[in-house]
Amino acid sequence: MKLSSPAFFEGALIPAQYTCARDDFSPPLTWSDIPPGAKTLALIVDDPDAPVGTWMHWVVFNLPVSAAGLPQGIKDEKQLAGGGTQGTNSWRRIGYGGPCPPSGTHRYFFKLYALDITLSLGNNTTAKELQGAMKGHILAEAQLMGRFKR
């Protein structure tokens, strides 16, 4: 399985429009090579370099396997128009919260999971709850890492 973005390459700087420094849009993402037997996809974006521990920037689950990605600027709504549910990030709100490090350069990991089930989780699901529900159901995963410094 592969995960990429037309906005930035693996290990590159994430453009400011996808961060708190500017528009805080979610970046466009594309994926391919979803394994046979996958029923849904899940996406978690985190910052392991946050001073308070890993900070969760985006939680999305039950994405349809027929989707080839997500467009730029996903709205902060519980249900996505094309299918999928957004959970709660570390700011305790639904949707995407872009990179916003207090100091230094941080790494941001976009992690995509192919699952063999449709998850029965609510809109207030946190990344920790999602990770627990995915255990034993991950068929494949892909990752894209970008960096940002304010």
* Residue 15 amino acid letter: P
What the chain holds in terms of domains, given with CATH numbers, is 2-149 (3.90.280.10)
Tell me the pLDDT of the chain (150 aa) as tens digits: 999 999 999 999 999 999 999 999 999 999 999 999 999 999 999 999 999 999 999 999 999 999 999 999 999 999 998 899 999 999 999 999 999 999 999 999 999 999 999 999 988 999 999 999 999 999 999 999 999 998
Distances (CA, A) of 81 to 76, 86, 103, 146: 11, 11, 35, 26
Residue 130 exposure: Cα atoms within 13 Å on the Cβ side: 29
Nearest to 100 by CA among 58, 143, 142: 58
